[in-house]
Amino acid sequence: MCKDKVRQFMIFTQSNEKTALTCLSQNDWKLDVATDKFFQNPELYVSHLKGVLDKKKLEQLYNRYRGMGSNFWVVTNFP
């Protein structure tokens, strides 16, 4: 059961096994809670993100584009 949760966490979050084990163990092995915590605070679980994310800037960016509805286009570069 724990192995399945680790695998599911890794697939959903695209994280490694160490991150999955850490996050799940800190959240009583509740996959939904651990996943939610991971996405709310990725800098706590992924070492290369520590100090990189600026939550204020992310919130400003979100608020800037929130409510644009169909006027907002996402452009991606696919090979």
Question: CB–CB of 22/45 below 8 Å?
Answer: yes
Is the pTM for the entire model greater than 0.75? no
Is it the case that residue 15 has pLDDT exceeding 80?
Answer: yes
CA-based max dimension of the chain: 45
pLDDT tens per residue across span 22-74: 999 999 999 999 999 999 988 787 765 555 557 787 788 778 877 766 555 55
Please name which of 40, 41, 38 lies closest in space to residue 16, comparing C-alpha atoms.
38
Judged by DSSP in three states, 36 sits in helix
Provide the Cα torsion 56, 37, 67, 77; round to 10°: 90
Q: What is the CA radius of gyration of the chain?
A: 16
